[in-house]
Amino acid sequence: MFERKQMAASPLKIERRRLHGYDFTATEQADKDLALAQMRVLNPEVPAIMREWVYDYITRELGEEEMSRRIAIGHYDSPSSRVVPINTAEPAVCE
């Protein structure tokens, strides 16, 4: 019923996915890969997609200078109002 056609062997072409719509040159992609590898070593518990999102956000949206400025002024030192502190409530007493 269906004929199976022989296809010529061709090299496998792997295209990198575009995350958040950003395009990277070969040099930028190499820098990104190196940074992501370093982030993986320093923070293995952080999911890979989050590490990549942070890298893209800092390099493409915020800028490294702005990120350094925010760190220097303590922008990220205070906890978010959306975060509920752990162990602030009195423990429940079971009798």
Q: Is residue 48 part of a domain?
A: yes
Q: Is residue 64 part of a domain?
A: yes
Tokens standing for residue 87: 């162990």
Q: Is residue 66 part of a domain?
A: yes
Q: Is residue 94 part of a domain?
A: no
Q: Is residue 9 part of a domain?
A: no
Q: Is residue 70 part of a domain?
A: yes
Q: What is the C-alpha R_g of the chain?
A: 23
Q: Is residue 55 part of a domain?
A: yes
Q: Is residue 47 part of a domain?
A: yes
* Chain segment 24-45, per-residue pLDDT in tens: 888 888 899 999 999 999 999 9
User: pLDDT value at position 92?
Assistant: 54
Domain that includes residue 68, residue range: 43-74
Nearest to 39 by CA among 25, 23, 22, 56: 56
pTM of the predicted structure, to 2 decimals: 0.57
CA–CA separation, 64 and 89 (whole Å):
39
| Number of separate domains in the chain | 1
- For residue 15, pLDDT beyond 80: no
